[in-house]
Structures are given as C-alpha cells and as structure tokens.
Amino acid sequence: VQLQASGGGLVQPGGSLRLSCAASGSIFSIYVMGWYRQDPGKQRELVASITSTSSTNYADSVKGRFTVSRDNAKNTVYLQMNSLKPEDTAVYYCNADIIRAWTRVRSTYWGQGTLVTVSS
C-alpha cells in the first residue's frame, strides 16, 4: 500500500492550493484519511481529517479556510486550501487508516509529504 501526495507549491498570501493524495495497492477498505503538516523543528500537527462516512475534523487554525474531502471510488483525499497565510507554510503529509485486502490487517500509512510555501 502506498500514498502518493501532490499539489504543493509556492503561493502568495491570500491564494489557494489544492492537495491530493491517492492510496494504491492491495486495499480492502479505508477508514479515516487526513492531512498533517510539519514545520522544521516542530511536531507534526493534524490539519484536517475525514472518515469513510464524510465526518470531518479541522484544526482551529484552518477552520473556515480549508476543506477536506474524499473520493472513495478513487481512494483519494483532497485538501482545498483558501486564504492561505504565511503561517500555513509547512510540509503537508497525507495519512490513511487502511485495512489491507487478503490479510485484513489494519494499519496507518503516510504519504511522502508535499511542501506548501506561502510567501510574497
């Protein structure tokens, strides 16, 4: 099982970006999918998560600006980021709670990280 994230880049304050993360491999089902971010020297923090029934959770710092969604048919989670601020600059990691096919083992998987830089 692999998670492949994409969509990071450089954007000006007030701008928007959309991150995507696709899970692939021998997957039976996916429970929670989410996004975390990490600044150098700081702990990784939850940005947003979404369950298989589309219940969402957001960090207070991004409420009203970021929207998490998922396409269960594509095993993909998205993060629409609007009104970006310099303090949103970080490496963003996707995360998924996956039950593998055949073994039915449930594990947490991480994507490789994608850099978001908000700067003028």
At 44-94, the pLDDT tens digits run 999 999 999 999 999 999 999 999 999 999 999 999 999 999 999 999 999
pLDDT of residue 77: 97
Residues 5 and 10: their CA atoms lie apart, in Å, by: 16
pLDDT band at 102 (very low <50, low <70, confident <90, very high): confident
Q: How many CA atoms lie within 13 A of 51 on its CB side?
A: 4
Per-chain mean pLDDT for the chain: 96
pLDDT of residue 95: 96
pLDDT band at 25 (very low <50, low <70, confident <90, very high): very high
Q: Nearest to residue 108, comparing CAs of 119, 120, 95, 117?
A: 95
pLDDT of residue 41: 84
pLDDT of residue 40: 82
If one counts every other C-beta atom within 10 angstroms of the C-beta of residue 54, the result is 10
Give the phi and the psi of residue 61 in degrees, each rounded to 5: -70, -15
Residues 98 and 104: their CA atoms lie apart, in Å, by: 9
Tokens of 94: 């996707």
pLDDT of residue 105: 92
Helix-, strand-, coil-residue percentages of the chain, each rounded to 5: 5, 60, 35
